[in-house]
Amino acid sequence: MKTSGIGLLFALLFLVFACSKSDNSEGVDMGDPNSEDPDPTTLSYQNDVRPIIQGNCLSCHGNPPTNNAPMSLTSLSLVQSAIENRNLLSRINNTTNPMPPDGLMPQSARQLIADWANQGFPE
């Protein structure tokens, strides 16, 4: 009984330590441009947004656009202008008139694009 109590105490201490450790590393940007960025608070077009657009939009919004898509989304400035002028953010969250037309992307992808726009479209 006594030894298992101590074991539990150590397990709890370890958990607290492990949690506080990961809390500390969150929000700290190590500044390595080559590392994959696990921190969702620092987004970039190249690493975060472009792969989502590539996988979900460019089959129609390529250059040139196909399947009657009205514009291309192949660069940061084109995506930015679609967010600012073509309601991109509401279309990717629109259940009656979604983009892509065959169904909404996962919530995490939609949120990521909105967060990126809120951060001022970082490259």
Site residues, ligand HEC (CB under 6 A): 56-57, 59-61, 67-70, 82, 86-88, 91-92, 99-101, 105
> Rounded CA gap, 102 and 57, in Å?
11
Burial of 88 (0-12, 13-18, 19+ CB in 10 A): buried
Nearer residue to ligand HEC within complex by CB, 3 or 96: 96
The token duo for 10 is 């150590």
Between 25 and 94, whose beta carbon lies closer to ligand HEC? 94
37 vs 86 by CB, closer to ligand HEC = 86
Q: How far is the CB of 94 from ligand HEC (least distance, A)?
A: 9
